[in-house]
A and B are shown apart, each in its own frame.
Chain A
Amino acid sequence: DAKTTQPNSMESNEEEPVHLPCNHSTISGTDYIHWYRQLPSQGPEYVIHGLTSNVNNRMASLAIAEDRKSSTLILHRATLRDAAVYYCILSPSADGLTFGKGTHLIIQP
């Protein structure tokens, strides 16, 4: 899987939007951009995925740069339950995923 770069940690306030960046300059044409998150002592949770166009679902939005070399996961209104490690992963499918270190999101009340 191609490599992604994410900030180690980010901090945000409750009820404010959060923008989590991910750089993936070596992305291939067939790679989807997948986002998962993991709360402490739990299995990861699927958040969203996309290929070229921006995507929205009930959890978040995914904004993909036109050249696809970066993307941003947007949580529109963060809650304390959104505090987790967020992983940005590239894969042409959803087969065995390569998890990096992710971004540790801290939400302040």
Chain B
Amino acid sequence: GAVVSQHPSRVICKSGTSVKIECRSLDFQATTMFWYRQFPKQSLMLMATSNEGSKATYEQGVEKDKFLINHASLTLSTLTVTSAHPEDSSFYICSAKRSYEQYFGPGTRLTVT
């Protein structure tokens, strides 16, 4: 299978600050990448679809001005959580699409204090 990395794996930040999470496709070029969020004991929820060179498409209920997504190259997408609040604490997971498969990163655990 393909390899997708995320950085950082874990981050703690203060309320009101911004946090950037990087997602890299290491062994293939990904035109389309996705961002998911997973709260404890719950399943993954799709936040947005990121297409290289164009604006991201956000799912209903996800604030595009709060969760900024940039997909500037075929191997890198970034998610910036702006003005983070404790309710944004979650496990953020990215994935890269190749053909009919998605390859997921290991996830980033965000804790906002």
Point out residues on A near B: beta carbons under 8 Å: 32, 34, 36, 38, 41-46, 49, 87, 93-102
Contacts and interface: CB of A to CB of B under 8 A. Distances in A.
A32 B100 contact: yes
B101 A43 contact: no
B34 interface: yes
Interface stretch (B14-22, B43-51, B64-72, B76-84): B43-51
Given A94-B102, A95-B97, 6 more contacts: A44-B102, A46-B102, A46-B103, A49-B101, A99-B45, A102-B43
10 contacts: A42-B107, A44-B102, A45-B1, A46-B103, A94-B101, A95-B34, A95-B49, A95-B97, A97-B46, A101-B43
A94 B104 contact: no
B75 to A, nearest CB: 17
B19 to A, nearest CB: 18
A96 B59 contact: yes
Interface residues of B, number: 28
Given A42-B106, A44-B44, A99-B43, A94 B49 contact: no
B32 interface: yes
B interface, over-half SS:
strand
A102 B32 CA distance: 25
Contacts of A42: 106-107
Contact of B32 (A34, A43, A95): A95
Nearest to B104: A43
B54 interface: no
A96 B100 contact: no
B106 A43 contact: yes
